[in-house]
Amino acid sequence: MSGVRVLVGTKKGAFILTSDGRRRDWEVSGPHFAGWEIYHVKGSPVDPDRIYASQTSDWFGQIIQRSSDGGNTWETPGGEKTPDPYAPPAGVSNKFVYDTSDDTGRPLTTHQWYDGTQHPWEFKRVWHLEPSLTDPDTVYAGVEDAALFKTTDGAATWHELAALRAAEGEKWAPGAGGLGLHTILLDPGDEDRIYVAISAAGAFRTDDGGQSWKPINRGLRSQYIPDPEAEIGHCVHRIALHPSKPETLFMQKHWDIMRTDNAGDEWHEVSGNLPTDFGFPIEVHAHEPETIYVVPIKSDSEHYPPEGKLRVYRSRTGGNDWEALTDGLPQENCYVNVLRDAMAVDSLDECGVYFGTTGGQVYGSADGGDHWTPIVRDLPAVYSVEVQTLK
């Protein structure tokens, strides 16, 4: 029978939750890399045994870990085997090499904040890992300060796709959580098309494999920046697409749910009847490209569900009309948040939906969101949730 593997990154380690196709009983493995911040864990879509994890700490810095057996054992690509997941990895690994100039020779080592001051570019952490749709050894990484990297040797070495920062990177400014490249979407029908989102710069697209990039923020409006309709400077929280309609994207912005049907050339709002259109994650049903999920929170200063009621909202019409999904979720005294990378879907016949909270709960629904069950409770704060569907 087919099954699922839910990969959970937390503030204090990674956890792997495994179930068969019924998704009723779960095995919990972890914590892997206990005590380390695991910003993101994601598996290869072409090799179910290959998993990558972004591991970081203030003491030892940023490391990418790799598993080739479904998370049973891990290694540091370019370094030595990691027999003890509780210990820092041995050896030097994961070299991230910046390109410090674009093809015109202009320096790409500073960026300008809204107050006009110049700040040096710093490498702080890897926010997001996006494995290739065709090759388990090729992975893209979004980092803070915002930049895009690529490896073709299974995470041993990384080189920057520097043309992205040439897209007026000097104008990018950090959001409240930092200047992070947090979303990478690969077009399944066009290997040269990639979308990224940056907080707080906006969304960008390449149509030539990363050699050039364009901002795709037309139609976005943000009251809190000097020019509310600027081409660059919007705090995009997350973007998502369905493989069957890769030119239709959905966006959770810093206020507003947005939609584009032309690959980002023009956006329009689809917040509809939501109680609030502020939130972080947005996800698309595996088999229904017009069914999308969000988790509204009260405001940009109060990061918890309105009225203390944890509700996932679903639209079956691509936005505008939304319904609250509450069965199995706490409807009083709940003040957790759901972060931008902490929601995912599986691709079983009846689509499963999963999300994790800053309170350490991971919830799952085996019926598209109609009913929810806590898979596990009392984990450290959940940073990311990803799913591998096992055949």
Q: What is the pLDDT of residues 37-81, one digit of tens each?
A: 999 999 999 999 999 999 988 777 788 999 999 999 999 887 655
Residue-level pLDDT at 154: 95
* Comparison of pLDDT for 81 and 211, the residue scoring more: 211
| Distance, CA of 208 to CA of 203 (rounded, Å) | 16
What does the DSSP 8-state code read for residue 306? G
Residue-level pLDDT at 185: 98
3-state secondary structure of 53: strand
Residue-level pLDDT at 269: 97
Which residues are CB-neighbours of 224 under 8 A, at least 6 positions away?
235, 254
Contact 383, 342 (CB under 8 A): yes
- What value does the mean pLDDT of the chain take? 91
Residue-level pLDDT at 210: 96
Per-residue tokens: 307: 């009225």
| Distance, CA of 321 to CA of 274 (rounded, Å) | 8
Task: For 285-324, write each residue's pLDDT tens digit.
Answer: 999 999 999 999 999 999 999 999 999 999 999 998 999 9
In this structure, CATH architecture of domain 35-344: 7 Propeller (2.130)
Residue-level pLDDT at 115: 64
3-state secondary structure of 164: helix
Candidate from 226-230, 270-274, 280-284 with smallest mean pLDDT:
226-230
3-state secondary structure of 91: coil
Residue-level pLDDT at 195: 98
Task: For 141-185, write each residue's pLDDT tens digit.
Answer: 999 999 999 999 999 989 999 899 989 888 898 888 889 999 999
Give just the sign of the alpha carbon dihedral 294, 133, 212, 77. Answer: positive
* Comparison of pLDDT for 329 and 116, the residue scoring more: 329
Residue-level pLDDT at 113: 64
* Comparison of pLDDT for 168 and 215, the residue scoring more: 215
Percent of the chain at pLDDT > 70 equals 91
Instruction: Please determine, for residue 201, whether its predicted confidence score (pLDDT) is greater than 60.
Output: yes
| Distance, CA of 365 to CA of 28 (rounded, Å) | 17
* Mean pLDDT to the nearest integer, 234-251: 97
Contact 232, 171 (CB under 8 A): yes
Cis geometry, peptide bond prior to residue 296 (ω within 30 degrees of 0): no
Q: How far is CA 6 from CA 18, 62, 315, 344, 349, in A?
A: 6, 23, 24, 9, 17
Residue-level pLDDT at 112: 65
